[in-house]
Amino acid sequence: MILTVTLNAALDVTYRVPRLEPSASHRVREVAERPGGKGLNVARVLAALGHETLVTGFAGGSTGERVRELLAEVTEAGPVGDAFVTIGGTTRRTVGVVEESGGPDGGATLFNEPGPQIAPAEWERFLDVYDELLLGADAVALCGSLPPGVPVGAYGTLVRAARTAGVPVVLDTSGEPLRRGLAARPDVVKPNSDELAGITGSTEPLYAARLARRRGAHAVVASLGADGLLALTPDGAWRVEPPRRVVGNPIGAGDSVVAALLSGLVEGLSWPDRLVRAAALAAATVRAEVAGEFDRTAYEELLPAVAVTRQMAAA
């Protein structure tokens, strides 16, 4: 079983409009609701790849109930297990507006609510649940932002618990939570180029990845947007490039990279094979309409066409 943790889960609402213009009224052509938050997107992609998955984090209020209802629905991806901790607050919403005509970054605009206030007792209850879930986990992903009330060092605490339990952990967050999490020595961190620069002070991806490894990460896989991926691992460094630029909705592409890394880890794939899967899956996710899904036909077409180039040896 692969466990994904989404402390700041959301109900994702996606609007599709012909074109988004500031200070204007818009006619929405289509509305979609999905369980949201990075770890939930990861879990749904993992389920579609055939892996048993379980999600945990916090859920509360009417939106929290809706998230759990959507997780329980039978889809092509298969079932995703629900181990959420119920809270007194209300799960946040995120709204994504996708322009059918295209635009910057694929024409997607996001509005992210901050999340509910988590009481100290709710955080302690979650830690107890997490420790129990680790006993049956083959790997764990710690994903996304922290809701108000959760300690800024939360991911460091969760990484250390996973390491104590002997469970490999992938960390995908940003800012100070990422900085604190690095110190706990996660197996893999998956920032984008801006997040990597934010914690290291370097805009040169390979050098920044080296700094992140020196600060605790066992391996670093950085998303470089349309330019693919950069990976710095104990086995070496690689650049991974998709065969062509894929136009569509980029929301969730990074989450699909995490899913690919987790699936490759538990399947025992080599680093190059994990990275090929990650690049193809990310590109196929851009072709899907909503986060947490991917275009399977595109994925299968892209897999043999992804280019992996060995870079300077890891230091």
For the record, the structure tokens of 12 come out as 């994702």
Angle at 63 between CA 62 and CA 66, to 5 degrees: 90
User: What Rg value do the Cα atoms of the chain yield, rounded?
Assistant: 18
With beta carbons less than 8 A apart as the criterion, state whether 302 and 285 touch: no
Residue that is written with structure tokens 């894929």 in the block = 246
Phi, psi of 11, rounded to the nearest 5 degrees: -95, 110
Q: Closest by alpha carbon to 253, among 221, 305, 291? A: 291
Q: Closest by alpha carbon to 281, among 1, 49, 2? A: 49
Q: Closest by alpha carbon to 147, among 107, 91, 102? A: 91
Find the catalytic residue in 105, 255, 273, 295: 255
- How many whole angstroms separate alpha carbon 157 and alpha carbon 171? 12
Work out the number of other CB atoms within 10 angstroms of the CB of residue 29.
11
Q: Closest by alpha carbon to 136, among 171, 172, 154, 162? A: 162
> Of how many residues is the chain composed?
315
Q: Is 295 annotated as catalytic?
A: no
Q: What is the enclosing helix (H) or strand (E) of 172? A: strand 169-172
- How many whole angstroms separate alpha carbon 172 and alpha carbon 178? 8
With beta carbons less than 8 A apart as the criterion, state whether 59 and 86 touch: yes
Helix (H, G, I), strand (E, B), or coil: what is residue 133?
A: helix
Residues labelled as active-site residues: 255
